[in-house]
Amino acid sequence: MKYKLILSFFFIAMLTWLIPGDLLAGRPLTVKVDKGEAVVSHLEGEVQVLPQGKETWRILREKANLWGGDEIVVGSNSRLEITLAGDSRLRFAEETHLHLERAGAGKSADVKVHLVVGRTWVKVSKTMGLKRKFEISCDNAVTGVRGTIYRLNVHRDASALVRVYEGEISVTGATKAMETETTLGPPSKITGPHKITGPHKVSREEWTMIIRSMQQVYIRADGSADKPQAFSAEEDRDAWVDWNRSRDRVL
C-alpha cells in the first residue's frame, strides 16, 4: 500500500512538471509575437486562410503566423483570435470573411483589416506607437483607433454597427450622392444624334465622427450614418460579447 502511494505521488509530480502552468490554471497559452508579426493565439472550430499570391486555401492552426495580404474565412461554430505586436488583439466570430491587408510588418508597421462580412472584437494596446495606424474597415466606413476596445459588425447587406467599450475611435464613411430624377415634361422636338458621355464614377460625400465609450453608430448600406447614441451593457449582452469580455479579463 505504501509503495502504491509513493508511485501515485511521483506520477502526479511528473504531470505537474510536464504540463505548463497555464493549462493547469485554465488560462490561455501565451504566444510570443516578434515585431511585425501577427500570430494565431486562439482558434476554435475551422478557419481557412488563402495567402497572398496563392490559389489554394489551407486550414489555419494555432500559433501560425499571418501576413499582409492573407484572406481569412472563419467557419460556422468557429472563432479566431490574432495577437499583434504590442499585445493588441483581434477576434473574429463565426462566419466572418476578412482581408488582413497589413499585419504590422514592414517600415510603416501599420495594421489594416478589411471586414467583408461578420463580426470582430478589437482590443488595441495603449503601448502601440503613435506613428502606427490601426484601421479596421468595411465597404462603407473606416475605423481608426489607439488604445481602446470596440467591436464592428458588418451585415450581408453592407450595413454595419460599431460599439465602443473603452476609449474612443474615429469613424470615417462615405455617402453616395443622390441622383437627380428626370421629370417628364410636355412633348418637344427631338434633336438629331449627338455624342453622349461614357460611364463615370458616382461621387461620394465623406463624413467623420468620434465615437466614445459606451456609444454606438449604425451605418446604412448606402454609407449614411446615424448620430452616435448611447447603449447599455444590458442590451449589449450576448454569447459573443460575454466570451470576449471574459478573454479580456484573463489576458
User: Full-prediction pTM beyond 0.85?
Assistant: no
* CATH class of the domain defined by 29-176+204-250: mainly beta
Lowest mean pLDDT, pick from 33-37, 61-65, 101-105, 200-204? 33-37
Cα 122–Cα 94–Cα 116 angle in degrees, nearest 5: 65
Burial tier of 206 (Cβ tally within 10 Å: 0-12, 13-18, 19+): exposed
Q: Where are the domains of the chain?
A: 29-176+204-250
Give the separation between CA 95 and CA 161, rounded to whole angstroms: 16
| DSSP classification of residue 156 | T
pLDDT tens column, 226-241: 999 999 999 999 999 9
pLDDT tens column, 16-36: 333 333 322 333 334 444 444
**What are the CA-CA distances from residue 196 to residues 10, 191, 193, 199 (Å)?**
89, 13, 9, 10
Question: Does the structure show a pLDDT above 80 at 120?
Answer: yes
pLDDT tens column, 46-77: 999 999 999 999 999 999 999 999 999 999 99
Contact (Cβ atoms closer than 8 angstroms) between residue 121 and residue 153? no
Report the SS3 class of residue 12: helix
Contact (Cβ atoms closer than 8 angstroms) between residue 163 and residue 216? yes
